[in-house]
Amino acid sequence: MAVQNSALNNQKSNNSEENPIQQDIKIEFIKSDKNKSANNNFTQNSSPEKIKQNIEDINKMKLDYIEKQYIEQRSDDIKLNTDIDLQVLKNQYGKDNQSQNTAESVESTSQEKTEEKGNTNYEPKVILTPEDFYKGRRVLIDAGPTYEKIDDVRFIGNYSSGKMGFALAEEASKLGAEVVLVAGPVHLDTPKNVYRVNVTSADEMHSEVFKYLAEASIIILAAAVADFTPAVKHEGKLKKEITGEKLIIELVKTKDILSDVGKAKTKEQRLIGFALEADNMIENAKSKLERKNCDMIVANKANQVDSGFGGDNNTITLINKENILKEFPPMTKHQCALEILKEITRL
């Protein structure tokens, strides 16, 4: 998925000097007063061996900087599982990966960057924070249950409160995303800066999701959509004096929103689905991910404390296309939302 890079905000010290560290996945390159001599050697005329040594020195300093600064820079703004991020960064800049920077690959990369940017003016790429990733992106989310009409006073529904989907909408908006929230019949306030569309039935939710699908780069389908709807929807109220001792209602399948979006999405779009399972949670979630063409599935268990419908907490497992599982302990649904949104940046 193409990700637009944006510069990290410069943090100023008491003497108003610029932050000396800029992070770069492709070429580990530091721009600071301390390392002017190293940077001056990072030129087109330097030998591959010299460049490689400079990169290894720079990587070591980056590791020190990451360990001391990364967590405290972001912990006040977003309460995320920063240990995972720190390990990812360590893996990117660690000694094991340094060994892969052979003289030949360093020379080739240096020449490519020199041709593109000019060696002395080259600005390295940055590792995007969640705020950088989501800023200005269109995120489409559905949430809550659907009600399938039997008559004017009865319906088929489920126990979904919509809290998980609303938490995702709120946290994505806080990260700078442009959020469209297609909400079933729930009693929740609309999160700030979120555009909300209210629906009742599965058919209405399907129509509204597809109305906004083309403009979204990330689609998170968290709604508990009814699988079946009455074949005949009666006007007025069905009277038991008329129906007798038994009322038989014929049900037909509803439109499968997740499956239809999976078929319609582009290569650039990312689709995240939910799997609420009573048994064989991991196996069923993996199967759903593949069948519905999702990029990630959020699995959780029904009939378990701090999981599923209704409450303020959830217990989730994230599964991506590579079948990599990330299991989390019980957390608030807002904390779950942040972990889900953070994992999406890696898809």
Residues 308 and 175 in one domain: yes
Residues 293 and 196 in one domain: yes
Whether 20 is covered by a domain: the verdict is: no
Whether 80 is covered by a domain: the verdict is: yes
Predicted local distance difference test score (pLDDT) of residue 60: 63
Query: Side chain identity at 116, as an amino acid letter?
Result: E
Residues 70 and 150 in one domain: no
Between CA 218 and CA 269 the distance in angstroms is: 6
Q: Which domain holds residue 257?
A: 134-344
Distances (CA, A) of 338 to 134, 291, 313: 12, 26, 13
Give, to the nearest 10 degrees, the angle between helix 163-174 and helix 333-344.
60
Band (39; pLDDT cuts 50, 70, 90): very low
Instruction: State the average pLDDT over residues 26-42.
Output: 42
* Cβ proximity of 74 and 82 under 8 Å: yes
Whether residue 61 is predicted with pLDDT greater than 90 in this model: the reply is: no
Residues 157 and 268 in one domain: yes
Residues 155 and 269 in one domain: yes
Instruction: State the average pLDDT over residues 62-71.
Output: 54
What is the sign, positive or negative, of the torsion defined by CA atoms of 167, 173, 177, 178? positive
- Rounded to an integer, what is the distance from CA 35 to the centroid of its chain? 36
Whether residue 276 is predicted with pLDDT greater than 50 in this model: the reply is: yes
Whether 9 is covered by a domain: the verdict is: no
Reported as a single tens digit per residue, the pLDDT across 138-148 is 999 999 999 99
Residues 247 and 316 in one domain: yes
Instruction: State the average pLDDT over residues 196-225.
Output: 98
Predicted local distance difference test score (pLDDT) of residue 213: 98
Reported as a single tens digit per residue, the pLDDT across 84-119 is 445 444 444 444 444 344 444 444 444 444 444 444
Between CA 171 and CA 44 the distance in angstroms is: 45
Q: Could you tell me the two tokens for 291?
A: 């069948």
Domain boundary among 127, 155, 170: 127
Residues 55 and 181 in one domain: no
Whether residue 35 is predicted with pLDDT greater than 60 in this model: the reply is: no
Phi-psi region at 49: left, alpha or beta (left = phi > 0; alpha = psi -120 to 50): alpha
Predicted local distance difference test score (pLDDT) of residue 243: 85
Between CA 318 and CA 250 the distance in angstroms is: 36
CATH number of the domain that 191 lies in? 3.40.50.10300
Residues 141 and 204 in one domain: yes
Whether residue 225 is predicted with pLDDT greater than 80 in this model: the reply is: yes
Quick one: 23 exposed, middle or buried, by C-beta within 10 A (0-12, 13-18, 19+)?
buried
Q: Residues 6 or more apart from 13 whose CB is under 8 A from it? A: none
According to DSSP, the β-strands at 270-277 and 296-301 are parallel
Range scoring the smallest mean pLDDT among 45-59, 203-217, 241-255? 45-59
Band (310; pLDDT cuts 50, 70, 90): confident
Predicted local distance difference test score (pLDDT) of residue 127: 62
Predicted local distance difference test score (pLDDT) of residue 63: 60
Whether 321 is covered by a domain: the verdict is: yes
Residues 169 and 53 in one domain: no
Distances (CA, A) of 226 to 67, 150, 252, 293: 47, 13, 11, 20
Which of 30-44, 100-114, 194-208, 240-254 has the highest average model confidence (pLDDT)?
194-208
Band (303; pLDDT cuts 50, 70, 90): confident
3-class DSSP state of 220: strand
Structurally, the chain folds into a number of domains equal to: 2
Angle at 293 between CA 292 and CA 299, to 5 degrees: 65
H-only helix segments in the chain:
36-41, 48-75, 82-93, 95-98, 103-117, 130-134, 163-174, 202-212, 240-243, 257-264, 281-291, 333-344
How high is the mean pLDDT of the chain? 78
Question: Phi and psi (nearest 5°) for 156?
Answer: -100, 125
Whether 191 is covered by a domain: the verdict is: yes
Residues 160 and 40 in one domain: no
Between CA 270 and CA 151 the distance in angstroms is: 38
Whether 26 is covered by a domain: the verdict is: no
Question: What torsion do the CA atoms of 95, 99, 104, 109 make, to the nearest 10 degrees?
Answer: -30
Residues 154 and 272 in one domain: yes
End-to-end C-alpha distance for the chain, whole angstroms: 7
Whether 123 is covered by a domain: the verdict is: yes
Between CA 220 and CA 131 the distance in angstroms is: 18
pLDDT above 70: percentage of residues in the chain: 63
Instruction: State the average pLDDT over residues 324-328.
Output: 95
Domain boundary among 93, 127, 161: 127
Residues 308 and 191 in one domain: yes
Q: Residues 6 or more apart from 54 whose CB is under 8 A from it? A: 38, 41, 42, 46
Question: Phi and psi (nearest 5°) for 58?
Answer: -65, -40
Active site residues: 158
Domain boundary among 92, 111, 127: 127
Whether residue 83 is predicted with pLDDT greater than 90 in this model: the reply is: no
Whether 150 is covered by a domain: the verdict is: yes
0.75 exceeded by the pTM? no
Predicted local distance difference test score (pLDDT) of residue 219: 98
